[in-house]
Structure 1
Amino acid sequence: MAHPHTPDDRLARALTAASGIDFAGARLNPVSGGCINRALEVAAGGRTWFLKLNDAAALPMFEAEADGLAALAACDAFRVPRPLAWGTTDDEAFLLLEHLQLRPLASAEDGRRFAEALVELHRDTDEQFGWMRDNYIGATPQHNTPHDAWARFFVDCRLVPQLQMARAKGYAGALGRDADKLLERIPALFLDYRPRASLLHGDLWNGNAAIAADGTPVIFDPAVYRGDRDADLAMSELFGGFPPSFYATYRSAWPPAEGYELRKTLYNLYHILNHLNLFGRGYLGQAERMIRTLASELLR
C-alpha cells in the first residue's frame, strides 16, 4: 500500500506558479485506477485537489483534456471536475483538477439521472463533425479534422488511423482484406440516416462516469468531439455497461434510429482497435469478429 509523501521542490514550485495555490509542504496520496497517468490526491492548506502526472512529453495530452473538460462544463449537463492548472517541470507534466467525492453508478435513480444529463449533452449540436483541435483517446492521438459528412469523418479520422497503427504493429494479416473493403462501404450505412453533430464525451465507458455526493451525474477523462450520439451510447455498452435504467431512460427520451445495433458494432470497433494498439494481441480476436460482423452486412 502506498503512503502519503511530499512533492519534490520542482513539482511544488510548478504547481504553485501555475495555480496560485501554495503547495509547499503539500501531501501527495497515490490513487489507484489509471493505467496511463499517475494519479494522486494533493492536500495543502486544508483543501484537497486531484493531480495527474506523466512524462513531460505528455503535456499536450493534459492540455487536450483540459480543453475537453471545459467544453463539457460549458454545456452544463453534467458536473465536471474543473481543470485548475497544467504545465511541466523539467521531466514531468501535470494536470491539477478539482477534487470531487465520487461513487460509481449503481441504483436505478443513478442511471436515470445520468441518462437525462447525457440527452442534454447530446442536444448540444453544431454544423460540422470533429473538433477545433486534435486530442487523445487514452494515450492515442485522436484526429478531429472538421468534416461536413459524418461517414467520411469516421472513416478518415477514426478507423483509418487505428488500422494503420495496427498494421504497423504486425496485425495486418489477422485483420484481413475485409477491413479495407469495409472502409469503402461504410458511407452506405448512412444513406438514410443523417446524424446530428452532437457534443460527445468520446470515451464514455463506466470508468469515466460517476455520481457526486449530492447525486449529480459526473463525467471526466473525455475525448471530446462532435459526432453521432450513438457513438457515446455504443461505447457505454463496452467494458461493463451502465445500469438498465440508464438505457431505458435515454431511449425513452430520444430513441436511436433503426440500424443502431450495426452502428454500435462499427463505432465500438474504433475503441477495440485502440485497445489492440495500446494493450496488445488480447483484443485481436474481438476486432476480427467485429470486422466479420460488419462485413457480413455491408459486403453482401
Structure 2
Amino acid sequence: MPLPDSFAAWLSERLGVELVGRAPVGGGSIHSAWRLDLADGRRLFAKTNGASSLPILEAEAEGLRALAEAADEAGPRVPVPLACGVAGASAVLVLPWLDLSRGRSAADEPQWRRLGAALAALHRHSLTRPCVAEDRVGAAFGWPRDNVIGSFPQRNGWQADWGRFFVQRRLAPQLEHLARSGHPLRRASLLLEHTGLWLGRHRPEPCLVHGDLWSGNAAISSDGQGVIFDPAVHRADREVDLAMARLFGGFPEAFFEGYQDAWPLSSGHRARRELYNLYHLLNHANLFGGSYVGQSQACLDALVERGEGAEWA
C-alpha cells in the first residue's frame, strides 16, 4: 500500500514534523513498510495498509505500548507508537526509526544474552503491574480484546484456567479453520482433550507475553540494545515466548541462557514446547498452507502418541 499524497499533511498535523523524503524498506509480509526522512534530520518508520486494516495496526500499537510499560528500565527496548490512524485510503502506524543489526557471530552473544535476561525481567515485572489496556492484574489469562497472530484472528477474552484458555482460544480456532478449509487433522479432538489434562497439571503465572517471538521480531540495535517488536500480546504462560523463539531458529543459545539465568523455567518446559509451538504451526498452515499442514499433523501425532508418558508438569 503506497503512502498517499496527503500523508505529509497528516504527519504534520499528528506529530508536527515536516516530511522531506520517503523510501520503502523490506521485511514486512502483511503491511508495506517505509523509512520517513524529516526536515530536522531525523527518521521515522511507518507501516501502511488499506484503511480496513486499521484495527490490526491499532492492536499492534496497543501491544507495543503494553510491552513498553512492562519492560520498564530492565526490559528490552520496545518501539513506542507515535501515531496511528487513517491518512487518505491508508491505515498508518508510525514508530521511531531503529537501526537494527541481526548479528549472530560470537561477538554478538553478550547482547543476545542480555536480551534474554531483559525478556525475563519484562515477564516478571508484568505480574505486578497492569498495562494501560487492562483494568488490573489478576489471575486470568488472555487479553481485553481480540487481536491477530500474523494476519489470522487471535481470540482472547479472559479465562482463569490456562489449559482451558490454550485449548479454547488458541488450538481449537486454528484446528476448526483448517478443517473448514478442507484440511481436517486426524485426532484433533483427542489432542484437545489431552491438552486440557496435560496443562491442568501445570500452574503458570499469567505473564504478559510478546506472543509472536520468532527471530524476525527481535534484533540487536546498532548501539547494542536488544529490541522486540511486531507483537501479538496477551497474558499467558511465559514459556510460550521461549518456545516460539526456538521454533524457526535464529535465536542464538546465549539468548536462552540469559533468560534461564535470570528466571529459570519450571520443570516440564521442554515437553510443553512442542505443544505450544503447534499453535504457530497451525497458524502457518492456515495462512500459507503447503508443507505446514503436514508439519502440523506430524506434530499433533507426536503429541498424542507421547500422551501420558510426557513430563508435562
Q: TM-score normalised to the size of structure 2? A: 0.88
Q: Does 1:224 align with 2:233?
A: yes
Q: Which residue of 2 aligns with 1:54?
A: 49
The Cα shift of 1:57 comes to 0.8
Question: Which amino acid is 2:268 matched to?
Answer: G
Aligned pairs for 1:289-300 (under 5 A) are: 289-298=298-307
Q: Which residue of 1 aligns with 2:132?
A: none
Q: Which residue of 1 aligns with 2:67?
A: 72
* Kept in 1: contact 2:115–2:258 (CA 8 A): no
The Cα shift of 1:115 comes to 0.9
C-alpha distance in structure 2 between counterparts of 1:7 and 1:190, whole Å: 46
The Cα shift of 1:104 comes to 1.4
Q: Does 1:44 align with 2:38?
A: yes
Question: Which amino acid is 1:158 matched to?
Answer: R
* RMSD over equivalenced CA pairs, Å: 1.7
Match among 187, 192, 195 for residue 204 of structure 2:
195
C-alpha distance in structure 2 between counterparts of 1:257 and 1:56, whole Å: 44
Q: Deviations over 1:212-247 (max 9, x none)?
A: 222111100011111001100000001123111112
Question: Which amino acid is 1:63 matched to?
Answer: E
The Cα shift of 1:7 comes to 4.8
C-alpha distance in structure 2 between counterparts of 1:48 and 1:89, whole Å: 19
For the residue of structure 2 that corresponds to 1:237, the secondary structure is helix
Q: Does 1:213 align with 2:211?
A: no
C-alpha distance in structure 2 between counterparts of 1:8 and 1:185, whole Å: 51
Q: TM-score normalised to the size of structure 1? A: 0.92
The Cα shift of 1:151 comes to 0.6
Match among 282, 287, 294 for residue 273 of structure 1:
282
Q: Which residue of 2 aligns with 1:155?
A: 167
**Alpha-carbon spacing, 1:164–1:18, altered in 2? closer, same or farther (3 Å):** farther
C-alpha distance in structure 2 between counterparts of 1:292 and 1:64, whole Å: 34
The Cα shift of 1:89 comes to 2.9
Match among 226, 250, 258 for residue 249 of structure 1:
258
The Cα shift of 1:112 comes to 0.9
The Cα shift of 1:299 comes to 6.9
* Kept in 2: contact 1:104–1:210 (CA 8 A): yes
C-alpha distance in structure 2 between counterparts of 1:152 and 1:183, whole Å: 9
For the residue of structure 2 that corresponds to 1:72, the secondary structure is helix
For the residue of structure 2 that corresponds to 1:95, the secondary structure is strand
* Kept in 2: contact 1:186–1:298 (CA 8 A): no
Q: Percent identity?
A: 46
Question: Which amino acid is 1:115 matched to?
Answer: G
Q: Which residue of 1 aligns with 2:120?
A: 119
For the residue of structure 2 that corresponds to 1:97, the secondary structure is strand
For the residue of structure 1 that corresponds to 2:158, the secondary structure is coil
Q: Which residue of 1 aligns with 2:58?
A: 63
The Cα shift of 1:259 comes to 2.0
Q: Which residue of 2 aligns with 1:3?
A: none
Runs of 4+ with >6 A deviation = none
Q: Which residue of 1 aligns with 2:193?
A: 184
Per mean C-alpha deviation after superposition, the further-off stretch among 29-38 and 246-255 is: 246-255
Per mean C-alpha deviation after superposition, the further-off stretch among 215-224 and 248-257 is: 248-257
For the residue of structure 2 that corresponds to 1:248, the secondary structure is helix
For the residue of structure 2 that corresponds to 1:146, the secondary structure is strand
Q: Does 1:81 align with 2:79?
A: yes
The Cα shift of 1:103 comes to 0.9
For the residue of structure 2 that corresponds to 1:164, the secondary structure is helix
Unaligned runs of 5+ residues in structure 2 are 128-136
Q: Deviations over 1:32-78 (max 9, x none)?
A: 11111100101121221001011111100110011001011112211
Match among 238, 241, 244 for residue 235 of structure 1:
244
